[in-house]
Amino acid sequence: MDAPRSTWFEKPKYQNVKSLEENALPTGRWTKCPDCSEVFLKKQLEENLNVCVKCGHHFRIGAKERIRLLADEGTFREKFENIGAGDPLVFTDAKESYKDKIRNTVKKLKMNEGVITGTCRMGDFPAVLAVMEFSFLGGSMGSAIGEKIYQAMLLGIKNKCPVVTVAASGGARMHEGILSLMQMAKTCAGLERLGQNRVPYISILTDPTTGGVTASFASLGDVILAEPGALIGFAGPRVIEQTIRQKLPEGFQTAEFLRDHGFVDRVVPRAELKQAVVSLLQFFAS
């Protein structure tokens, strides 16, 4: 049961921290791994669950693909898909209005908001599943995501079945101002209800999970799993570098870093993720 000798005296090494942008899935037929620079066919990558064949780098995947990965085939039933963003502040930034931004994103992604919620079976165990979509305005949490996550919690209570969330978010959606901040409290209030009813909650953290989502429901799983190398933190790496005026150590704010500091239960490779969740569901069910 001995650890490899090298870990006795070496500081743990983590994968490089990626900025929020540079980790996105590239387009075109060919793809280059940002970690090992290996070039391979996109199809090859997809067949390997968008994990680098050579070094195991986990590329980001969308919510729909994530649901295919986790839910038993044909069991996912979407709920609350009619809940969309409002524009309470009539917000406009340098480039465009929030209203246009939402309209264009909805059209482009064919999704109403940055989280897909519903019910499914996993290894034949029933679960409520909420999966965030990072490409929907950086997975930023506004009122609609808050409401959908909250409703997912209530559904877990009603159906007496575990809730599983998959986080992928840059933080709060500032276009909704103070209302977006309150979604942190709202989702956590939902979790408090879930806990009072002793319904299990499994939180899966993927690249990236930062800001208001880290500081709310994503960090409160009864069990917290994370994908290898995922950037997870409260403040973004650039904000921290600006504040402390120095480069961050290698591997800072990775899934492995959080596990080693006691804030993530397990780092699970994508290929083993579903089995890990199913095994937990089985634990809770029996």
Partner 1 sequence: MAEIKPELALFDFEKPLQPLYHKAEKLMAEVPVNEKKLAAVGADIQKVTAKIYKGLNNWQLTQVARHVARPYSLDYIGKIFTDWQELHGDRNFRDDASTVCGVARFDGQSVVVVGQQKGRSTEENIRRNFGYPQPEAYRKALRFFKFAEKFNKPVVTLIDTPGAFPGLEGEERSQGEAIARNLREMAGLRVPIIAVIIGEGGSGGALGIGVANKVLMLEYSVYSVISPESCASILWRSSDEKIIAAKALKNDAKTALKFGIIDEIIPEGLGGAHRDPDGTAANIRKSLKRELAELCAKKPEELVDERIAKFAAMGVVTDL
Binding site residues, partner 1, CB under 8 A: 81-89, 91-94, 112, 142-144, 146-147, 150, 172, 174, 176-186, 188-193, 195-196, 211-212, 214-220, 233-236, 239-240, 243-244, 248-249, 252-253, 258, 261, 263
CA distance 131 to 74: 17
Q: How far is the CB of 264 from Zn ion (least distance, A)?
A: 22
Contacts of 57 (CB under 8 A, 6+ apart): 15, 33, 34, 35, 36, 51, 229
Query: Of partner 1, Zn ion, none, which one sits near residue 57, judging by CB under 5 to 8 A according to partner kind?
Result: Zn ion
Judged by CB, which is closer to Zn ion: 19, or 242? 19
Asked if 163 is part of the footprint of Zn ion (rule: CB under 5 A), the reply reads: no
Q: How far is the CB of 146 from partner 1 (least distance, A)?
A: 5
DSSP state of 242: H
Report residue 74 as tokens: 């044909």
Asked if 57 is part of the footprint of Zn ion (rule: CB under 5 A), the reply reads: yes
The helix/strand/coil state of 78 is strand
Asked if 35 is part of the footprint of Zn ion (rule: CB under 5 A), the reply reads: yes
Judged by CB, which is closer to partner 1: 120, or 144? 144
Q: How far is the CB of 107 from partner 1 (least distance, A)?
A: 13
CA distance 24 to 206: 13
Query: Of partner 1, Zn ion, none, which one sits near residue 206, judging by CB under 5 to 8 A according to partner kind?
Result: none
Q: How far is the CB of 208 from partner 1 (least distance, A)?
A: 12
Query: Of Zn ion, partner 1, none, which one sits near residue 52, judging by CB under 5 to 8 A according to partner kind?
Result: Zn ion
Query: Of Zn ion, partner 1, none, which one sits near residue 254, judging by CB under 5 to 8 A according to partner kind?
Result: none
Asked if 109 is part of the footprint of Zn ion (rule: CB under 5 A), the reply reads: no
Q: How far is the CB of 272 from Zn ion (least distance, A)?
A: 18
Q: How far is the CB of 201 from Zn ion (least distance, A)?
A: 33
The amino acid that residue 27 corresponds to is T
CA distance 179 to 47: 41
What is the DSSP code string of 154-215?
A: HHHHHHT--EEEEEEE-SB-GGGHHHHHHHHHHHHHHHHHHHHTT--EEEEEEEEEEHHHHT
Query: Of Zn ion, partner 1, none, which one sits near residue 55, judging by CB under 5 to 8 A according to partner kind?
Result: Zn ion
Closest among 264, 190, 191 to 233, alpha carbons compared: 264
Query: Of Zn ion, partner 1, none, which one sits near residue 186, judging by CB under 5 to 8 A according to partner kind?
Result: partner 1
Contacts of 196 (CB under 8 A, 6+ apart): none
Size of the site for Zn ion (CB under 5 A): 7
The total of other beta-carbon atoms located within 10 Å of residue 238's CB is 11
Task: Note whether 50 and 25 are within 8 A (CB).
Answer: yes
Contact residues toward Zn ion (CB under 5 A) are 33, 35-36, 52, 54-55, 57
